[in-house]
Each structure stands twice: as structure tokens, then as C-alpha cells.
A and B are shown apart, each in its own frame.
Chain A
Amino acid sequence: MTRITTDTVEQVADLSKLILSDEELAGFQEQLDKIIGYFEVLNSLDTTGVEPLAHPLDLRNVFRQDTVEDSAPREDALANAPDKTDEAYKVPVVIESS
């Protein structure tokens, strides 16, 4: 049985903003289907009455106090941006307002 169809791969690619060729689609379909197949092994276990695990570490309540620390200098913040003005990151025009 096929668990992952090319439609699913296309949808995932779209959500991830990836453009895939037909060949790649077919390739990923096969690979993803196999990967998902491994999870069937886990599904074969009886987990009745077991609470889903929220976090693998046995840690709770890790907090910081509400105190202000120094921010990064703006030059550093913008240093990695492929495109920028003196004070902001630059991206292609976004039409809708946020």
C-alpha cells in the first residue's frame, strides 16, 4: 500500500516553498513512503493508557527573569542579510499588511 502519494509530496513541497521537478517528485515520493513505513513498526506497539510525551527531557519550569539584556548592534543584526537598507532587512514587496 502506498502511504505517500505524489500529491502529498507536492503539498509538502509547496508548504516548504520548494519547487520540485517531476523526477524529484517521484524520487521523494518513494523515499518519503519508505520513511513513513518505518513508523509502522512503532504503530504496532500497544500504547493504550500511555500519555503522549511532551518532551524527552525530564525537566520542567525552566525560566528566565524579566530583565533586559543588551541587544545586538544593528550592523551585526543586518550583517547576514543578502539585501538591506541602513536600518532594515529588505525583501521583495509584500502586498498585504500584517
Chain B
Amino acid sequence: MQYETVIGLETHAQFHTRSKMFCGCKTDFGAPPNTQTCPVCQGLPGTLPVVNRTAVELGLRAALALRCHIAPVTQFDRKNYFYPDLPKNYQVSQNYHNLGVDGRLEIEVDGQTRKVGIWNVHLEEDAGKLEHPEDTGANYTAIDLNRAGTPLLEIVSAPDMRSADEANAYMNELAAILRHLGISDCKMQEGSLRFEAGISVRAVGGEEFGNRVEVKNLNSMSAVVKAIEHERHRQVAVLESGGTVPSQTMLWDVQREVTEPMRSKEEAKDYRYFPEPDLVPIEISPEWLDQVREQMSELPAVRRKRFIAELDLPPYDAGVIVEQKPIADYFEQTVEQGVEPKTAANWMMGEVMRVLNERQCEIDDLPVSPPMLAELIGLVTDDRISNSVGKTVFSEMCSSGKKAGEIVEEKGLAQISDSGELEAVVKQVLADHPDAVADLESGKQQAKGFLIGQIMRATRGKANPKLAGELIDRLTGD
């Protein structure tokens, strides 16, 4: 039998706010344990929460970007459960009047556009963190409440995805939107973006969904993709052997790359939601929504389309560049300096991203501004320096913050485009490699590539390759 996988994703994104959802504690990642807490986020009796307005506005941006119906009046509810990382024994969340409902996200897989339904977008607060001590003999769990009360956005998709590829496209598009609109920094390694996957399989064309397995502890997009593949195989095997897949919650084991049933007693999910009496409702007026809309920058999908249509970028390039807003902004500013878009894109995807990777830094940390990059690219396109020298100059610019022209001047890197000056070098190289010259004269064109390589070497990359080729042709009497 042919099976299809049915996937829905729950996404939690920490808002990019300075302070927590209901109190003024910082939300910085990596602070010493329990140094960013107060009576409100410690859940002490007698305290009162007050809503962070920025978190609501960032949530509205997400709801608008995901084409949700926005609730005219929204409110918080208490989700009750006991767990040591939850100091109040309830999480302030939304259940009855979500911020946004019935939205959608368009994704592209293999050149096909698909719509994934968004059931709801709502606001809530994060829980604390449990730390299991390193020394194996320790018989306790430590709790750090720094994260407790951090503003969270939850996005619940419909079970509209049918493959790991589609889930991957969904996650990437969602993260691009959240980053572009300044909603979340989406750093998975810091836990500011987390996923839970609901996965089931059914016979192709079936109408009923299979029993749903919820997979938690997915700490990267690749973990989500692997967990979907793993669950698909596991569930199909169960069905093929005549069994039934039980509905259950499983944890992803990152090391072994398998799903494991949760070891704790599977508690009947009875969260006894009720309206949070400590918080008053939030009314979202059309005027407020308009203000939020005005603050929203262009969505990544729109920007990609614009780069393809107006700047003539290949779709692949547009996809890579638009993934991160600062990169896309930088690219656009470089193009505004008069650089041909495809050339600018090549530099962004090549040297710029290579340096960012190597230094593990953000583009805003580079001392090279878009006009400086444009100047460098100009030197290469005008044949003042060769492409390979251009790369060296870029690295130098990133280290010293100097302008391309200065570096070229200082180090004497200007391309040798004067045939008289280059002719001497070419003659020497030809004299040094009689075998290659003989090969070339007998019609082996690859010998020419070798000779140009030697000329580049002799001139430390400064030779104009086109001119060098012409000189070889002339001097070998071709």
C-alpha cells in the first residue's frame, strides 16, 4: 500500500523584546541562573502581571503576515498543569480568544506553491529551564527561572503538510518572516525558535487521519525533518504488520536519531483552561492595526518576487539572499550604489557569506559598508584588479576596515593590463614551460589554462587573464 505522511507543526518563537511578558525582567540569553527574575515571574502570591505592549504588537505583526483574522477583543487564559519549571502551576496563554485565527502560509516546494493553513496565532509566556547537573551522582534537578515569563508566540498550523520537505519549507519560510518583521531572532541553538510536530500516516487518498504522534524535543529544523522521516517509517511498519499506531507523545533522541515514548506517566491532558482573572481584555481597534501594519517591512515572499522580477535575480539567489533580512538589506544597498544585481548577489553568496561563516558574526558587525563593497566590485568589473585579488582585498577590508582602493594602492595589487609590462612575464613563463607550449601548439587547449595559471602565479594574481591569453596566442605564433 502507498502511504502519505500528515504533518502539523506547533511553533514557539520567543519575541524579540527587551523585557518579559508581564514584568520588567530582562530576557537576555545566557545570564547566570536566577538573576533575571522578580516576584511576578517567580509566581509569588499577591503579584499582578501587566502585559508588555510591544509583545502584543509583534504578535499582531505575525498574525497579519500569516493572513489571520485578528480578534477584535483578545484575552489571556490560564493553562493549568504541574511541572517544576512552571512556578505558578499555570501558564498564561490564550485558548478561547486567540490573537489571530484561520490564517495561511504559502510555501514553495520543487517549484510548486502550496498553502499551509494556520489554525491560530497566540501569545503566551515561556517556562523556566530544568538543568540536570553534570556530575552523574547528583540526585536532583536544578531550576533556573530566567526564562520564565519570556514572551512567546505560538503558531499552530493545520495538518496540511505531506512530506518532510514541505515541513522544512514551512519552517524556513516562517523563520524568514519572523526575522524580517523583527518579531523573533529565531536562534534555534538558543531555543528562541522551537518546534513540535504532530505526525501521522494514512493510505494515500484516505479521508480519515491516522492516530497522531506528537514529537517533542526537536531542537533544530534538521531534527524535525529527521523525526518526520523516522516516524513515517516506524508508523508504516506498524500498520504493515497489522498493528495500530497509538496516539502518544514521543521525545526525539538527538544522539540516536529515534523517537522514544515519553518515560513519565502520560498524563491525561486536562489543562482546565479558564480566563486569566488578573489580566483585562485587549481590544484591537482598526486604527491600532493600521499603525502596526505601517511598521511592518516587506514580507520575504514579496521581496523575493521583487528581486526576481525587478532585479532579474535567479530564484535560487533570491531565496538565499532574502532568508535573512540584514543580508537582503545589505544586498539592496549595494545594488543601489550601481552594482549589477547578479554580480552583487554572487559577492553576497560567495565572499560575504564565507567571511560571516568563518568569523561567526552578523553582517552588521563587518567594518565593510555596502558602498565600500560596491567600490570593490567596481574595481573588479572595471578590470582594475582581478577577481582573485578582489577576494583577497575583501578579506583585508573585513580585517582592517580600509577601503578597497587604498588596499590596492598600498599593496600594489592593481591588475597588469599593460601589454608591454605583461609581455615580459608571459615570455618568461613560456620559456620555463616548453612542454606546455608544445602541447598548446599541437592543439591541446587545456595547456593554455595551465600557462595562464602560471602567469597568475608569477604576478601574484595581478595579471589580466584575458590579456595574458591574448599574449600567449600571439607569442606562440598561434
Chain A interfacial positions (CB closer than 8 Å to B): 11, 15, 17, 54-55, 57, 59-72, 74, 77-78, 80, 83, 85, 87-98
* A88 touching B144, Cβ below 8 Å: yes
Q: Which of A15, A62, A69 contacts B51 (CB 8 A)?
A: A62
Q: Which of B36, B85, B251, B277 contacts A71 (CB 8 A)?
A: B36
* Interface positions of B from 65 to 101, Cβ below 8 Å from A: 73, 75, 80, 82-85, 97
* Interface positions of B from 130 to 185, Cβ below 8 Å from A: 130-132, 139-145
Which residues in A have their C-beta under 8 angstroms from that of B32? 74, 87
* A97 touching B217, Cβ below 8 Å: yes
Beyond the given pairs A62-B51, A87-B32, 20 more chain A to chain B contacts, judged by CB atoms under 8 angstroms and listed by A's residue number, are: A55-B280, A60-B280, A61-B280, A64-B52, A67-B19, A68-B24, A68-B25, A71-B38, A74-B32, A77-B37, A77-B145, A85-B142, A88-B131, A88-B144, A89-B143, A91-B84, A92-B139, A94-B141, A98-B83, A98-B130
B438 adjacent to chain A (CB < 8 Å):
no
Tell me the minimal C-beta distance from A3 to chain B in angstroms.
17
* A71 touching B35, Cβ below 8 Å: yes
Q: Measured between alpha carbons, how far is A64 from B358 in the docked complex, in Å?
A: 41
Count A-B pairs with CB separation below 8 Å.
135
* B145 touching A89, Cβ below 8 Å: yes
Which residues in B have their C-beta under 8 angstroms from that of A15? 80, 270, 272
- What is the predominant secondary structure among interface residues of chain A facing chain B? loop
Which residues in B have their C-beta under 8 angstroms from that of A64? 24, 50-53
Question: Which residue of chain B has its CB nearest to the CB of A72?
Answer: B38
Which residues in A have their C-beta under 8 angstroms from that of B142? 85, 87-90
Interface size class of B (residues with CB under 8 A): 35 or more
* B281 touching A98, Cβ below 8 Å: no
Which residues in A have their C-beta under 8 angstroms from that of B39? 72
Which residues in B have their C-beta under 8 angstroms from that of A89? 34, 84, 142-143, 145
* A69 touching B282, Cβ below 8 Å: no
Given contacts A63-B52, A72-B39, A91-B143, contact A96 B129 (CB under 8 A): no
Which residues in A have their C-beta under 8 angstroms from that of B80? 15
B391 adjacent to chain A (CB < 8 Å):
no
* A54 touching B18, Cβ below 8 Å: no
Tell me the minimal C-beta distance from A68 to chain B in angstroms.
5
Question: Which residue of chain B has its CB nearest to the CB of A53?
Answer: B275
Q: Measured between alpha carbons, how far is A82 from B264 in the docked complex, in Å?
A: 24
Tell me the minimal C-beta distance from B243 to chain A in angstroms.
25
